[in-house]
Amino acid sequence: MDKFEEEWGKMLSGEIYNAVHPEFIRRLEETRVKIWEFNNLHPSKKEERIALFRSIVGDCGETFHINRPFRCDYGCNIHIGNNFFANFNLTILDEAPVTFGDNVFIGPNVSIYTACHPLEAAARNTGVEWAEPVTIGNSVWIGGSVTILPGVTIGDNCVIGAGSVVTKDVEANTVVAGNPAKVIKRIKNTIELGE
Protein backbone atom coordinates (compact mmCIF):
# COMPACT_ATOMS: atom_id res chain seq x y z
CA MET A 1 0.00 0.00 0.00
CA ASP A 2 1.49 3.37 -0.99
CA LYS A 3 1.51 6.44 1.23
CA PHE A 4 -1.50 8.03 -0.46
CA GLU A 5 -3.67 4.90 -0.16
CA GLU A 6 -2.75 4.79 3.52
CA GLU A 7 -3.81 8.45 3.94
CA TRP A 8 -7.03 7.85 1.96
CA GLY A 9 -7.84 4.90 4.24
CA LYS A 10 -7.25 7.07 7.29
CA MET A 11 -9.59 9.72 5.89
CA LEU A 12 -12.40 7.22 5.34
CA SER A 13 -11.94 5.62 8.77
CA GLY A 14 -12.04 8.89 10.72
CA GLU A 15 -8.35 9.00 11.61
CA ILE A 16 -6.14 12.08 11.35
CA TYR A 17 -4.63 12.25 7.87
CA ASN A 18 -2.48 14.52 5.73
CA ALA A 19 -5.04 16.46 3.68
CA VAL A 20 -2.37 18.32 1.69
CA HIS A 21 -0.88 15.19 0.11
CA PRO A 22 -0.56 16.01 -3.63
CA GLU A 23 -2.86 13.15 -4.66
CA PHE A 24 -5.70 14.59 -2.56
CA ILE A 25 -5.25 17.88 -4.41
CA ARG A 26 -5.20 16.11 -7.78
CA ARG A 27 -8.41 14.21 -7.00
CA LEU A 28 -10.13 17.38 -5.79
CA GLU A 29 -9.19 19.14 -9.04
CA GLU A 30 -10.37 16.17 -11.12
CA THR A 31 -13.76 16.29 -9.39
CA ARG A 32 -13.99 20.06 -9.86
CA VAL A 33 -13.63 19.61 -13.63
CA LYS A 34 -16.58 17.18 -13.67
CA ILE A 35 -18.63 19.50 -11.42
CA TRP A 36 -17.91 22.46 -13.70
CA GLU A 37 -19.08 20.41 -16.69
CA PHE A 38 -22.21 19.28 -14.82
CA ASN A 39 -23.10 22.79 -13.67
CA ASN A 40 -22.56 24.28 -17.13
CA LEU A 41 -24.33 21.78 -19.38
CA HIS A 42 -27.20 23.28 -21.37
CA PRO A 43 -30.57 22.61 -19.64
CA SER A 44 -31.78 20.62 -22.67
CA LYS A 45 -29.02 18.02 -22.21
CA LYS A 46 -30.83 16.01 -19.57
CA GLU A 47 -29.36 12.57 -20.37
CA GLU A 48 -25.79 13.93 -20.39
CA ARG A 49 -26.43 15.70 -17.08
CA ILE A 50 -27.72 12.50 -15.46
CA ALA A 51 -24.77 10.47 -16.73
CA LEU A 52 -22.26 13.10 -15.60
CA PHE A 53 -23.79 13.32 -12.12
CA ARG A 54 -23.65 9.53 -11.81
CA SER A 55 -19.96 9.68 -12.72
CA ILE A 56 -19.33 12.18 -9.88
CA VAL A 57 -21.04 10.43 -6.95
CA GLY A 58 -20.29 7.00 -5.50
CA ASP A 59 -23.75 5.66 -6.28
CA CYS A 60 -27.23 7.01 -6.89
CA GLY A 61 -30.77 5.66 -6.99
CA GLU A 62 -32.81 5.29 -10.14
CA THR A 63 -34.65 8.62 -9.92
CA PHE A 64 -33.13 11.91 -8.82
CA HIS A 65 -33.10 15.59 -9.67
CA ILE A 66 -30.36 18.08 -8.79
CA ASN A 67 -30.92 21.79 -9.43
CA ARG A 68 -27.61 23.32 -10.34
CA PRO A 69 -25.19 24.54 -9.15
CA PHE A 70 -24.02 21.56 -7.11
CA ARG A 71 -20.66 21.30 -5.33
CA CYS A 72 -18.74 18.57 -3.53
CA ASP A 73 -15.16 17.60 -2.74
CA TYR A 74 -14.55 14.05 -3.98
CA GLY A 75 -18.04 12.90 -4.94
CA CYS A 76 -17.13 9.21 -4.70
CA ASN A 77 -18.02 9.23 -0.98
CA ILE A 78 -21.62 10.37 -1.65
CA HIS A 79 -24.28 7.65 -1.69
CA ILE A 80 -27.83 8.60 -2.73
CA GLY A 81 -31.00 6.54 -2.47
CA ASN A 82 -33.97 6.57 -4.83
CA ASN A 83 -36.29 9.53 -5.47
CA PHE A 84 -33.82 12.23 -4.40
CA PHE A 85 -34.37 15.96 -4.95
CA ALA A 86 -31.88 18.73 -4.22
CA ASN A 87 -32.56 22.39 -4.90
CA PHE A 88 -29.99 25.03 -5.92
CA ASN A 89 -26.56 25.29 -4.25
CA LEU A 90 -26.22 21.95 -2.48
CA THR A 91 -22.66 21.71 -1.09
CA ILE A 92 -21.28 18.43 0.28
CA LEU A 93 -17.79 18.13 1.74
CA ASP A 94 -17.50 14.36 1.44
CA GLU A 95 -14.17 13.49 3.02
CA ALA A 96 -16.13 10.84 4.95
CA PRO A 97 -19.16 9.00 3.53
CA VAL A 98 -22.36 11.02 3.15
CA THR A 99 -25.33 8.69 2.77
CA PHE A 100 -28.91 9.61 1.84
CA GLY A 101 -31.86 7.23 2.10
CA ASP A 102 -34.83 7.14 -0.27
CA ASN A 103 -37.25 10.06 -0.75
CA VAL A 104 -34.94 12.79 0.51
CA PHE A 105 -35.96 16.37 -0.32
CA ILE A 106 -33.37 19.14 0.09
CA GLY A 107 -34.10 22.88 -0.07
CA PRO A 108 -31.76 25.50 -1.56
CA ASN A 109 -28.40 26.52 -0.08
CA VAL A 110 -27.91 23.42 2.07
CA SER A 111 -24.39 22.54 3.24
CA ILE A 112 -23.28 19.15 4.56
CA TYR A 113 -19.81 18.89 6.10
CA THR A 114 -17.73 15.88 7.13
CA ALA A 115 -14.28 17.54 7.36
CA CYS A 116 -12.92 18.39 10.82
CA HIS A 117 -9.88 20.52 11.69
CA PRO A 118 -7.77 20.82 14.86
CA LEU A 119 -8.66 23.63 17.27
CA GLU A 120 -4.99 24.37 17.88
CA ALA A 121 -3.62 26.70 15.19
CA ALA A 122 -0.19 25.04 15.01
CA ALA A 123 -1.73 21.63 14.24
CA ARG A 124 -4.34 23.12 11.90
CA ASN A 125 -1.64 24.93 9.91
CA THR A 126 0.11 21.64 9.09
CA GLY A 127 -2.83 20.55 6.90
CA VAL A 128 -3.90 17.56 8.98
CA GLU A 129 -7.58 16.87 9.46
CA TRP A 130 -10.05 14.05 10.01
CA ALA A 131 -13.58 13.37 8.84
CA GLU A 132 -16.81 12.08 10.35
CA PRO A 133 -19.63 10.57 8.24
CA VAL A 134 -23.10 12.04 7.81
CA THR A 135 -26.12 9.76 7.39
CA ILE A 136 -29.58 10.96 6.38
CA GLY A 137 -32.47 8.50 6.59
CA ASN A 138 -35.50 7.87 4.40
CA SER A 139 -38.21 10.46 3.74
CA VAL A 140 -36.28 13.39 5.19
CA TRP A 141 -37.03 17.01 4.24
CA ILE A 142 -34.15 19.43 4.79
CA GLY A 143 -35.23 23.08 4.58
CA GLY A 144 -33.34 25.86 2.84
CA SER A 145 -30.02 27.15 4.19
CA VAL A 146 -29.56 24.25 6.61
CA THR A 147 -26.03 23.32 7.70
CA ILE A 148 -25.34 19.74 8.81
CA LEU A 149 -22.10 19.25 10.74
CA PRO A 150 -19.72 16.25 10.77
CA GLY A 151 -20.79 13.02 12.44
CA VAL A 152 -24.55 13.71 12.36
CA THR A 153 -27.17 11.02 11.71
CA ILE A 154 -30.70 12.15 10.84
CA GLY A 155 -33.39 9.52 11.34
CA ASP A 156 -36.24 8.59 9.01
CA ASN A 157 -39.20 10.91 8.38
CA CYS A 158 -37.56 14.02 9.85
CA VAL A 159 -38.03 17.66 8.89
CA ILE A 160 -35.12 20.06 9.41
CA GLY A 161 -36.38 23.66 9.63
CA ALA A 162 -34.93 26.28 7.28
CA GLY A 163 -31.77 27.96 8.51
CA SER A 164 -31.02 25.31 11.12
CA VAL A 165 -27.53 24.21 12.15
CA VAL A 166 -27.62 20.49 12.94
CA THR A 167 -24.84 19.70 15.42
CA LYS A 168 -25.99 16.32 16.79
CA ASP A 169 -28.05 13.29 15.82
CA VAL A 170 -31.75 13.79 15.07
CA GLU A 171 -34.25 11.20 16.28
CA ALA A 172 -36.60 9.71 13.66
CA ASN A 173 -40.07 11.24 13.23
CA THR A 174 -39.18 14.68 14.57
CA VAL A 175 -39.10 18.27 13.40
CA VAL A 176 -35.99 20.15 14.48
CA ALA A 177 -35.09 23.81 14.02
CA GLY A 178 -32.74 26.48 15.30
CA ASN A 179 -29.04 26.98 15.96
CA PRO A 180 -28.22 24.51 17.32
CA ALA A 181 -31.21 22.54 16.00
CA LYS A 182 -33.54 21.20 18.69
CA VAL A 183 -36.69 19.07 18.58
CA ILE A 184 -39.77 21.28 18.26
CA LYS A 185 -42.34 18.64 17.30
CA ARG A 186 -42.85 14.91 16.95
CA ILE A 187 -44.44 13.54 13.76
CA LYS A 188 -47.05 10.75 13.75
CA ASN A 189 -46.53 9.84 10.06
CA THR A 190 -50.05 8.84 9.18
CA ILE A 191 -51.52 9.62 5.78
CA GLU A 192 -55.21 10.30 5.37
CA LEU A 193 -56.21 10.12 1.71
CA GLY A 194 -59.53 11.42 0.44
CA GLU A 195 -61.79 9.22 -1.60
Catalytic positions, written as ranges? 117
Would you call 136 exposed, middle or buried from its count of C-beta atoms within 10 A (0-12, 13-18, 19+)? buried
- Cis check for the bond before 150: say yes or no (omega within 30 of 0): no
Q: Which secondary-structure segment (H or E) carries 188?
A: none
Q: Nearest 5 degrees, angle CA 140-CA 37-CA 25?
A: 85
Parallel, antiparallel, or unpaired for β 165-166 and 147-148? parallel
Name the β-bridge partners of 42.
Answer: none
Count how many residues are written for the chain: 195
Widest Cα–Cα separation across the chain: 66
* Pairing state between β 128-131 and 115-116: antiparallel
Sign, Cα dihedral of 101, 146, 108, 41: negative
List the one residue out of 70, 40, 45 whose CA is nearest residue 56.
Answer: 70
Q: Compute the distance between CA of residue 75 and CA of residue 158 in angstroms, rounded to an integer.
A: 25
